[in-house]
Structure formats: C-alpha cells, structure tokens
Chains A and B, each alone.
Chain A
Amino acid sequence: MDPGTFDEEKLRAFMRAGVNRVSLGVQSFDDDVLKLAGRSHDAREVERAIEMMSTCAVPRWSADLISGLPGVNAGTWRTSLERVIAAGADHVSVYDLQVEAGTAFYRWYGEDATGKDAKEGLPSEDESADMFRDASATLGAAGYEHYEVSSYAKPGARCKHNQIYWQNASWYGFGMSATSHVNGERVARPRKMGDYYAYVDALERGENTGAISTGGDASDALFEHIMLRLRTSDGMNLDKVTERFGEQATKEIDDAVAPFLGEYARYETSAEDGSRILRLNDPEGFLVSTEILSTLLSQMKSLASDDDGEDA
C-alpha cells in the first residue's frame, strides 16, 4: 500500500477482510527525493501511514526503501534507514535502483541519455554500492536479519510468501500480470484488462488461453535452484543438491564457486543435520550476486543447453 492512498477506515476494512500484513511503499523519507522519483506522496504522508500501522494494530508491516535514487547521498540514506528502524517496522525491503530500458528513468538517467532529456543527480555506482553496505550494517545492528538480497526481517518476521519463491515451491496466481508456479509450470497472466477478460473466458470454455507458459527440464530445474537459493542467507544445501541432481552437479558447483570463496561466498554446516551449505556473503557476495551466478552457470557443464558448442 502506498502512503497517502489510504486512511484509517480503509485500513481497518482491509483488516476486517483478513489482511494481516501490510507492505508500505515508502521508498524514501526525504521530500526532494520523493519528488524526483515521481512519487505522489511526501514525507508527512509517510509518517501518517506509519502511525496508522500502530493505531490500527497491524500485526506485521514492512517498509520498502530504494537506494541509489536521484538526490540520495550517504547522509540522506542513513537517515532513511534510521527512521525506518525508529518507526519499528517488522520487515524492511531495500531495493537497489535498477534503471531499465523503456522507462522514463532510462530516458533521464540511462547510459544513452542525451541532450535536454538527460538529468543529473544519480548516485555513482560506488555510492550506491556503499548504500547497500550501509543498509546491511545499520539494519543488522538494529536486529534485522538480512535473509535475502533485498530483504531484512526482525526475528520471526520473515516474509512467508516471498520465501516460497526462493524455495522454488508452488503458488497460485490471480489477476492481471500475476504469475503462478504449479507443477513446475510458470504461467503469466495477461497484463491488460481486455486481454485478461479474454483469458478468463477462454479458461472457462476450456480453450487455449494463450497465456505465456514456461516449464523446464532437469537442467532448467538445477539452474533455477541455484539462482534462487543463492539469493538467501540460508543458502543452498549441497547435500540436497547431490540427492536431487547428482554428485556431478555438486562437484561442478564446488569447482565454479572456488574463486569466490572467502570474500564473496562461504561454506557452512547446517545446525540441523550437518549438511554442507553454500551461501553468498553479506553484503559483498550479495552485491555481486548476478556476476557470481552467471559465472557459475557458464562454467557448469550440467547446465549446458542443447545447442551449446555451436555458435550461430
């Protein structure tokens, strides 16, 4: 829920309907930053929304923060972190800004931004990397567990439904743009209203819905498993990998991850059953997780696709 878009009455109505967790799209506690980011709320509305969390006794609530926004520097970032801690959020999601092609931000701040479109003020790569590190240190010191690349939670407050994604378990999806993952098949529903209605009609008639569906084979499953598990601080249980995918797969993982051990990744032993666990370090491993993943994937023979070895 975005600050400024709801009042107490609405909130209580949601809670009566059964909602027991709220995620607030705060992004920043700074007015200037919020304006530059094109948000329609301001710092005061953020405070009001947070206040409502306690007046309405929302059992659990989370706040989103975006690091690397235009206008943010080390100081304003630290302030946002301290304020979210002081507000008593049970959970914080900290997202590193990703400027993507096709968006207004790309036109303004992207690599190819030119002329009057181009804007200044985006923190440097170094600065936003430091913000990531600061979040990890500051939130960590305040008792939050950095359990996933972008997720921090007080004890017992880990986001249950998100963890399903990172365990690659199954879930249903409802509504426009929703994705479901059932029986290994991912189905993405249409994004637009009209298309969505057509989709539902086709479903009811038992016809081909035209929804985009992807589902994989064994190498795909291993790929997904590695990709998702390494996002978490719980890491990847290598004994289970051996069980599910074979010794060869585990050996390849060990070989490929070797250069990253120490600074970016480490092995742990499971307290439960002594299994071998591989995890990325917080924050340095998380910070370059995409690079580590793509290196791993390109070096593992078990993940070679059918047409590997023949360049077009």
Chain B
Amino acid sequence: DTMAFRRLATHITQRRDAITYARCITSSTLASSSSRDGDDERSLAERLSRVPLERTRNFSIIAHVDHGKSTLADRLLELTGAIKKGGAHQILDTLPVERARGITVKAQAVSVLWRSDAAGGEAREYLLNLIDTPGHADFSFEVSRSLSACDGALLLVDATQGVQAQTIATFYLALEGGLVIVPVANKVDMLAADVDRVAQQMISVFGVEREEVLEVSGKTGLNVTSVLDAVVSRVPPPKGDLNAPTRILLLDCHYDDYRGAVNVVQVVDGEVRKGDKVTSYVTGQHFEVLELGMSTPTPCEVHSLKAGNVGYMITNVRDVRSSKIGDTLHAFKETVEPLKGFRQAKPMVFQGLFPVNTDDFEKLRAAVDRLTLNDASVTVQGENSTALGAGFRCGFLGLLHADVFHQRLQEEFGTDIIATAPTVPYRIAQRDGTFVECTSPLSIPSGGFPQEVSIEEPLVEATIICQPQVVGKIVELCMDRRGEQLEQTFLDDSRVIMRYRLPLGEVAADFADELKSRTSGYATFDYDDAGMQKGDIVRMDVLVNGTAVDALATLVHRSKAQRHGKDIVARLKEALPRQMFEIAIQAALGGKIIARETISAFRKQVTAKCYGGDISRKKKLLEKQKEGKKRMRRIGNVDIPNETFGALL
C-alpha cells in the first residue's frame, strides 16, 4: 500500500511568478490510527480526502471589478493556512494580463480546510472549495459555468461603491442556479465606507436580511473568519450521491508544458480513482486517469476524488481540445444521464486577424495555435482577404477578450497583427428554415438579401445602474442604439437600475465607453445574451479609388447606414496620407454610393537643399517616412495605415 515517491519535489512553471509544486506524499501507513479529527500528522492529501460530502462546501465569490475579490480570496487562503501570511499576492489571477487589467480570465478552483463549529455541534474540519469566476461582462458564460458547480456564492460589494450592474447580473445567474447567497460588504475599514447604505441596497436587490450581511475588510482581515463560518453554516453541502454511478463535470481545461492537459473537474456523483477509465458523454472518447488532485492552491495529489470534490484530473490524453467544457465524464461502459449542460461559450464578436507582414503568416498561425490551447473559448477559422492576404477569422467572447488576446499575441509571441473591425454573429434564415451563421461582412451580399431570406441579429439584455440625474442621457443613448426599455426602478434615492434589450451590434463596440463618458464614469453596465431577432442588416462597402477594399467592409443596420457611411469615409480621409494622385474614398451600399470624400494629391514633395551638412538630416527624415510606410498596407496603389482596418467608430 505504500506508494513510492514518484516525482521530484519541485517544478518551475512558465508563469511569471514561480509557483513551487510540491508533491504530497500519500501513505496509508499512518503513525496514528486515531480517528480523532485535526490530527496534524495526517498528510494533507489524507485530510482532504477524508472529509465527507456533508462537510464539503462548493462556493464562489461574485464581485464587481475592483471590489476586492482577489484580496478577500487571499485572506481566506491565509486564514485556512493554504498560503502563508504575506505570501504571493492575488493568487487567483496568474496571467500577466489578468494582473495588469485587474481581471480574471480563466476559472480556477482552490480547496482549503477549515475547522468550524458554525454548523452546530463540535468543531469539525470542513472542505471548502472556492471556485473562482471571471470578472467581466465578456466572460459571463464562464461565470455561469463556474456557478453551476457551486451551491452558494459570496456576493461581495464594496462598501464605498455600492451595488454595481455586474454584481446584479451575476446575482441573477446565481439565483437561477439555485445558489444560496451570502451577502458581504467589503472594505468596511475605509473612511468612505457606508455600510448601512450598501446593506440597504443589498436588501432591496438581493432580498436578504440585514443580519445576514457580513461586514468585512479583505485588506485588514477584519471579520474574515465570519465569512468562512457563514460558508459552513449557510451554504448547503453538494447534492450528489457517493453511491450513484460516477458523473464528473468538466469545468475547464488548460495546457501545462510539463503536465499536459490539466482538467478542472467536479465529481458530482460517485468516485473516480487513479487508474480508472472514464468516457466523455459528448464525444465518446475514453480517458485513462493518470493523476488526481486538489489545488490547495499548490497541487496536492490524491488517490481519488469523491462526490462533492472539486479538483484536477490529468489523463493520458494530452490534447486540450479533447476536453469539452461542460462535458459529463462517466465510468467506462456505464450509461448515465448527462449533467445539466450549462451555457456554452458563445463568441460575441468576430474579427479578421492578419499578420502585419504577409511573410509572417506562419508565425501568426503558430502563435494563434498555442494561445488557443489555453483558451478554448476563442474560435478560429482560416480567412483570406484580397486586401490583407491570408489570416484568420477569430471569435471572442467580447471586445475585452479580443483585446486580451491581441495583447497576449504581442507579449508572449512577439506577433503584431492587423485586426479588422469587430462584427457580431448574425444568422441568415434560409427558406427551408435552417440557419447559416454569418461571422464576416462578406457573407452578406452588399445590398442585403432578397425578401424571402432574412437576417437575424443577436440581442442582449443590458443592466445599467446609474445616478438619477443621468437617466435622461442613458435613455437617449439606448434609444439611439435601437434599444427597448424593459425596466427602470429606483434602487435607493441615489441609484436607478435600468434594463434594456439592445442589439449586440449596437453594444459590442463602444457602448461602454459612450456610457462612461455621458455619465462621467458613474454608470455601470453588464449584459447577457437575449436571443436573436430579425433585422434589416446590410453590408457597407468601402471603395478606394474605385476598388472595394474587402477588409474595410462592415455590417450595419439599414437605419444607421447613412451615418455609418459618412463616419467611415471621414475617418479614412483623416487617416490616409496624401499621395501623388487624388484618392477617392467612397462608402457604398449595394453599388449605390452613399458617402464620399476626396484626398487631394500633393503637388510637390521635394527637398530643396541637400548639401554636406544636410545629408544626415535628410537621411533621418527619409528614415522616418520609411518607418511610417511600413505601418501601412498598400492596396492597389494607395497606402492605408494598419490601424485603420480595425478602428471602431
């Protein structure tokens, strides 16, 4: 029974902060056979594995960006001894871009032990699984995915800021999922904290009682133990059955250079052991379980994961793409009812990505391949543009997601790209009732479709929280964006909550920025998928000196076409440099020119003097011009700056 020491104690990962992986030694010969709880001689793996389902808690923290989720999480980990006091900060956010932007991109789970008597009776050891959720509207699908593995959620609100749109949106998700809500007011140590007010908001929005609201400070650690105790006392244990046929929920999968594909899983029913063979319900593929463990947050290997446990699973299949997020894994040869599927990653914006230099296509392809290994929510297809050459059409969860992707391409692979203007996914309803997805402007004929064929555009339901005095501006903005108001209520005397149904195409681009600027930054907003609706969507083409530049084509609602066309040509007139001939810029709809601008030719471009002392200077000037030209793409005989292709209106 004694298991051999299998690996060396330390690995260094490729992440920026080296996280030391310590292999836990599992042993079945214990010094003490006492069944007394809290025996420190037991190994961590033992302790984790012996906590029964009734003393397991699966929970998440829901919070608006900057409301202190990461800090609180650090405190919880410190309290439970998972990390040392003053150890690595913000354990949960590990990607450089996550830290830089203050957002969580990937979902993760951390398992900790907490000794508590809060559930009544004597103090026992509880296994608390904190399942982290991404913190941005773009990633709401990931939120629902993580929440589906939870039974409760800490609803964290910054006591100096109050309830925000994102908190509300995620709250509804949690409610839908039947989660128990534990309201927590954070940052109570700050001078600007108004706990009573925030508590009132929480009461009116979340329907909780005043005494349920915990008042904590993630920064100072004040009252954080009450949070852990509340999880123990208020969040129910997982609903699974240890004796039922094994069912495992696949929450996520990421690629690690040393360990291969690491799956984050939750065992809902039954048990899975090292060496077991499991099968994917979705693909039918078989996996041999090579290693199981829990993240504490350092990986701690265990022999098995039982119902209620959340941890990681490494199999003989090294390809990340074989793991389908949301899949149900079951025992080989058994038939089970699949676990309720949760929302699939639905790309919300599509962009064409092209290498700045056409010679670098292979480099871009390799980089995109690598990056998508760790981000299964990015969809990739090849695309060819007459203007920009060979590239990819990529689908992202939102603009932030796209932005993060571009940044990672640059930072981690040194690839520079030209990205075309983002387009939301439309679908074309055929005569026979089937749908064809449309993710690129070129899928739609220029003038629109004939009558029998209709296009549908995606809708979202947006939640906006603002101050009463800017309500008018927001109503104006939403009306301009073809929105339909669903609700407008007072949260308290200083906050109004509005809900609107809007086309995603009107929201995906610069809605957040417009909202911020019209409300001086005080409104917050979040949105969620709300189905599709018929729309009169047409394709706007851009012609430069008579030639259509396919990479500049965009899709727009016919009612906005005129304005859009004028904006595009005006923007191009500003951006394009003068050339030796006149440049005619036209916006066209089905062959009809709806807007036009002209850039006059320059009549002369000459350096009058080039004598001895002028030569160095002239060289510098030409060098600068040369560099400028390199950041442009020559289409026909016109130079178009790279940024022009993707700039949003």
Which of A's residues lie within 8 Å of B, judged by CB? Answer: 95-98, 125-126, 128-129, 132, 149-150, 162, 165-166, 171, 173, 177-181, 186, 188, 214, 223-224, 227-228, 231, 259, 286-291, 293-295, 297-298, 303, 305, 308-311
Contact = CB atoms under 8 A, between A and B. Distances in A.
Nearest to B630: A298
A295 B629 contact: yes
A186 B616 contact: yes
B613 A177 contact: yes
24 contacts: A97-B608, A125-B602, A129-B604, A132-B604, A150-B609, A165-B610, A165-B615, A177-B613, A181-B612, A214-B616, A287-B605, A287-B606, A288-B602, A289-B605, A290-B607, A290-B622, A290-B625, A291-B580, A291-B602, A297-B622, A297-B626, A305-B623, A310-B414, A310-B416
Contacts of B606: 96, 132, 149, 286-290
A291 B605 contact: yes
B282 to A, nearest CB: 42
B41 to A, nearest CB: 56
Nearest to A166: B610
A173 B612 contact: yes
Given A290-B622, A298-B626, A129 B603 contact: yes
Interface of B: 356-357, 360, 414, 416, 579-580, 602-613, 615-616, 618-619, 622-623, 625-626, 629-631, 637
Contact of A227 (B416, B604, B612, B622): B622
B416 A228 contact: no
Given A188-B616, A310-B414, A311-B416, A98 B608 contact: yes
A179 B616 contact: yes
Given A309-B360, A311-B356, A231 B610 contact: yes
Contacts of B610: 149, 165-166, 227-228, 231
Leading 8 A-B pairs by shortest Cβ distance = A298-B629, A129-B603, A294-B625, A179-B613, A291-B605, A95-B608, A290-B605, A125-B603
A227 B621 CA distance: 11
Contacts of B414: 310
Nearest to B410: A311
Interface hub of B416, B615, B623 (most chain A Cβ within 10 A): B615
Nearest to A299: B629
A188 B623 CA distance: 19
B604 A128 contact: yes
Nearest to A128: B604
A311 B627 CA distance: 9
A96 to B, nearest CB: 5
Nearest to A181: B612
Given A128-B604, A288-B580, A188 B626 contact: no
Contacts of B611: 162, 165
Contact of B612 (A128, A165, A308): A165
B619 A96 contact: no
B588 to A, nearest CB: 26
Contacts of B360: 309
Contact of B622 (A150, A173, A293): A293
Contacts of A294: 622, 625-626, 629
A304 B605 CA distance: 23
B226 to A, nearest CB: 50
A177 to B, nearest CB: 7
Nearest to B631: A311
Nearest to A173: B612
A290 B625 CA distance: 9
Contacts of A186: 615-616
